[in-house]
């Protein structure tokens, strides 16, 4: 099992939270565990193996954050049964991040995790939407590059960029997997096109969670106390995102119903 393998390959001391344990690993480009090189990852998992599910989530952090951040989301998802892996990208752009995410996906596939969710915030959200299948166009042409990883089951983006540069209205048209687009109403850092992934995508499994009067930090999802502006909103984001994961990764029928009935979300009917 994955949890046993994590302990055998332990590199750093594990830290225990309420119902959740963490450890750290390094993953090579082909999904192998390594003591040197590769991408450093923080891993969250349920303390009780019986509470885990055969699904995993990868979270890509924002530009000025690291793998130790976003514990408010990662620990919550792990408490509810998921293996959550946060790669440490450093100050890299989307090109390096999709390599890191792909390496972790290979690592999970080697351990028979077939349902994999990917989420990200800010620059991590850009990497997430690109690896989910957002097409990038060459300037002045209709030629594009597609970095889609077909092993991804569902994605959540927090403040993903919309149209601009290599991204056009048609960039999202071929994304077939479930997609939850989370947008802050007064987020000035990612521009005013953040709803584009939802607006210009197709399929009934696309959702928009638009939160008025909230900025790029979404109330404090980074988990840093200094940025915790709205614990109530963070709790709401935890609950909405968990419902999405349960519907898409656990394939929980009650979660599917709850997702489509949630009045806070828009979906393409």
Residues in the chain: 269
Provide the percentage of residues in the chain whose pLDDT is more than 70.
86
Domain ranges of the chain: 2-267
With vertex at residue 103, the alpha carbon angle to CA 89 and CA 113, rounded to the nearest 5 degrees, is: 120
pLDDT tens per residue, range 124-155: 999 999 999 999 999 889 999 999 999 999 99
Q: Tell me, what's the pLDDT at 193? A: 85
Protein fold of 2-267: Rossmann fold (3.40.50)
Lowest pLDDT segment from 62-66, 163-167, 205-209, 217-221? 62-66
Q: Is the separation of the CB atoms in 217 and 229 below 8 Å?
A: yes
Query: What residues have CB less than 8 Å from 13, skipping those under 6 apart?
Result: none
State yes or no: pLDDT of 51 exceeds 90: no
| pLDDT digits 0-9 by tens, 185-232 | 887 766 678 899 999 998 889 999 999 988 877 877 776 544 556 888
**DSSP code for 94:** H
The vertex-74 CA angle with 103 and 135, nearest 5°, equals 50
Q: DSSP states of the chain as a string?
A: -HHHHHHHT--S--EEETTEEEEEEEE-TTS-B-SSSSEEEEEEEESSGGG--SEEEEEEPPTT--TT--HHHHHHHHHTT-EEEEE---S--HHHHHHHHHHHHHHHHHTT--EEEEEEETHHHHHHHHHHT--EEPTTSS-EE----TT--EEEEES---SBTTB-GGGGTT--S-EEEEEETT--SS-S-TTHHHHT--STTEEEEEETT--TTTTTTT--GGG---HHHHHHHHHHHHHHHIIIII--HHHHHHHHH-TTEEE--
């Amino acid at each position: 099992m994955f949890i046993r393998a994590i302990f055998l390959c332990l590199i750093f001391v594990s830290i225990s939270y309420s119902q959740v344990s963490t450890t750290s690993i390094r993953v090579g480009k082909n999904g192998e565990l390594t003591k040197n090189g590769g991408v450093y990852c923080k891993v969250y998992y349920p303390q009780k193996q019986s509470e885990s599910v055969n699904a995993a989530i990868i979270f890509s952090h924002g530009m000025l954050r690291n793998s130790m951040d976003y514990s408010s989301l990662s620990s919550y998802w792990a408490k509810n049964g998921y293996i959550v892996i946060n790669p440490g990208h450093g100050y890299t752009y989307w090109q390096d991040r999709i390599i890191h995410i792909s390496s972790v996906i290979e690592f999970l596939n080697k351990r028979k995790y077939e349902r994999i969710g990917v989420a990200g915030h800010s620059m991590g959200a850009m990497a997430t939407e690109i690896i989910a299948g957002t097409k990038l166009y060459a300037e002045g042409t209709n030629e594009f590059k597609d970095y889609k990883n077909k092993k991804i089951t569902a994605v959540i983006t927090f403040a993903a960029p919309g149209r601009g540069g290599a991204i056009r209205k048609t960039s999202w048209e071929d994304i077939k997997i479930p997609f939850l687009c989370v947008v802050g109403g007064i987020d000035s850092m990612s521009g005013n096109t953040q709803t584009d992934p939802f607006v210009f995508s197709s399929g009934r499994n696309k959702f928009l969670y638009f939160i008025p009067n909230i900025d790029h930090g979404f109330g404090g999802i980074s988990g840093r106390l200094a940025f915790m502006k709205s614990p109530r909103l963070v709790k709401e984001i935890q609950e909405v995102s968990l419902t999405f994961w349960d519907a898409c990764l656990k394939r929980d029928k009650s979660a599917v119903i709850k997702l489509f009935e949630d009045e806070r979300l828009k979906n393409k009917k």
